[in-house]
Amino acid sequence: MNKQIAMTVAGIVGISFLLAGCESKVAEETKVVEEDTSAIQLEGYNLLWHDEFEGDTLNEDIWTREVREVGWTNNELQAYVDSEDNVFVKDGNLILKALDSGDGTYTSGKVNSQNKADFTYGKVVARAKVPEGKGLWPAIWMMPQDEEHYGQWPKCGEIDIMEVLGDNVAKTYSTIHYGEPHAEQQGTYVISNVLKDGTFASDFHDYSVEWEPGEMRFYVDDIEVLTVNDWFTAVQGEDDKPYPAPFDQPFFVQMNLAVGGNWPGDPDENTDFEKAEFAIDYVRVYQKDEYDTNVTKPVKEYRQPNEDGNYINNGDFATELDKVADWTFYKDKGGDGSAEVVDGEVVISTVSEGTEDYAIQMFQADIPQIKGHKYKVSFDMRADENRKAVVCVSAPTAGWVRYLADTEFDVTTEKQSFEFEYEMTEKDDNNGRLEFNLGKRGTSTVYISNVRLEEVQ
């Protein structure tokens, strides 16, 4: 059995290391802080390093204030600056603060532990309180110390312990990114499922990841929200690197408060930058004495189609939507409406069309898609008034690529039959998703029936 012996360091500041046969870097002057850490020990783990953010200055033996220009990534609006106005320690918390520059751009704070506290495998626990406001995007995440080891993002891998969008502070996201092509797996947790009168902005909460060879488990307040054990990395068109690459190399912790960008959107007139503060109470990193690195990638099992060859469940809408989990009706980006089954059709009524195709959407997920296979999507559709719609087969856990491209078609008041064929050219995917997108194209009621997705020769 191949076992990796973990380094155990309690209260070490200024440490950077690499395990399991990788090159090791240790700071020339490792400073050990003598302190009582008994209250923060975890059974089965050794405390590797931690920062409780006591005192009144940032511990620069662990953290670096990262400097980045506006628009460096994701079309974000903030510049990360080396300023105590944006990154400071106060009242036992690290504060990352976003400030409005008054010209449509912003400054904000980001810190990372790269080349100071890198580690391979362990448990990270961070306690934090997020700010509320449209366009604010706090995150606690991890990136590899050497991004070139497997190649630039996403080949290098990324571990997102926590992300929250400021316009929905009751929901957190935990995600891993990898590939190429870019793939991701994501779990979410909605606080209102447990607490009826609280959000992640109203109090501090614990966010953590247990990172082991071949598996990662993400938690919010000790509630497991995501477990992943199947990933890959490769140069597109080449064979995969040996599993569990890319998550078998040293990573570092970073935390930031972004403003705007592709995902959260821009701030609006209600975003209060006086309160735009991401507060972190502590960061604690633990390791076990050893890790078994003799892991193999799980073998995927692909479900077979139904007896009639159809991969779509309830494609004839013989069962009401509230009694089956196969179909999901989704609203977003200003879309509003409803869906119900009537006489073998799903009737989608739109009140507000929203601003994106997916603002009004009906989809079915978990559809196997095998590279080199050919498929056909077919269905019947009509509408109360002539309008347009879009159909596609997407990849929600593989970078949202399209196996069947977004295809716009005309819907009339007479029922029509539609067929679209495509060949799967990407990696095998157990989570293809058939989507009917009705947003941004009017509010006429749509009727869908006889939905099929099947292999063709």
Q: Please calculate the CA angle 311-353-447 and round it to the nearest 5 degrees.
A: 45
For residue 356, count CB atoms less than 10 angstroms from its CB and return exposed for 0-12, middle for 13-18, buried for 19 or more. middle
Q: Which amino acid is at 244?
A: P
List the 345-353 sheet strands across, edge first.
Answer: 335-342, 345-353, 446-456, 374-383, 416-423
- State the pLDDT confidence band at 10, using cuts at 50, 70 and 90: very low
Residue 19 has pLDDT above 50, yes or no: no
Q: Name the residue with tokens 């488990």.
A: 217
Of the residues 163, 184, 210, 277, only one is catalytic, namely 163
* Element housing 298 (H / E): none
Least confident span in 104-113, 315-324, 411-420, 446-455: 315-324
Structure tokens at 429: 């995917």
Residue 2 has pLDDT above 50, yes or no: no
Of the residues 76, 158, 180, 435, only one is catalytic, namely 158
Q: Which amino acid is at 337?
A: G
**In this predicted structure, what is the pLDDT of residue 247?**
98
Share of the chain above pLDDT 70, in %: 91
CA nearest 53: which of 285, 276, 279?
279
CA nearest 189: which of 207, 215, 211, 212?
207
Are 128 and 207 a contacting pair, CB within 8 Å? yes
Active site residue 158: yes
Are 279 and 95 a contacting pair, CB within 8 Å? yes
Share of the chain above pLDDT 90, in %: 81
**In this predicted structure, what is the pLDDT of residue 195?**
58
- State the pLDDT confidence band at 99, using cuts at 50, 70 and 90: very high
- State the pLDDT confidence band at 323, using cuts at 50, 70 and 90: low
Are 367 and 312 a contacting pair, CB within 8 Å? yes
The sign of the torsion formed by the CA atoms of 115, 117, 121, 127 equals: negative
Mean pLDDT score, 405-419: 98
Mean pLDDT score, 76-92: 97
User: How much is the mean pLDDT over the chain?
Assistant: 90
The reported pTM is: 0.81
Residue 119 has pLDDT above 70, yes or no: yes
**In this predicted structure, what is the pLDDT of residue 360?**
97
Residue 451 has pLDDT above 50, yes or no: yes
Active site residue 76: no
Distance, in Å, from the CA atom of 119 to the CA atom of 19, rounded to the nearest integer, reads 8
Residue with more model confidence, 49 or 6: 49
pLDDT tens, position by position, 164-218? 999 999 999 999 999 988 889 999 999 875 556 689 999 999 999 999 999 999 9
Distance, in Å, from the CA atom of 209 to the CA atom of 285, rounded to the nearest integer, reads 10
**In this predicted structure, what is the pLDDT of residue 191?**
85
Distance, in Å, from the CA atom of 355 to the CA atom of 388, rounded to the nearest integer, reads 15
DSSP assignment of 1-12: --EEEPP--SSE
Residue with more model confidence, 435 or 235: 435
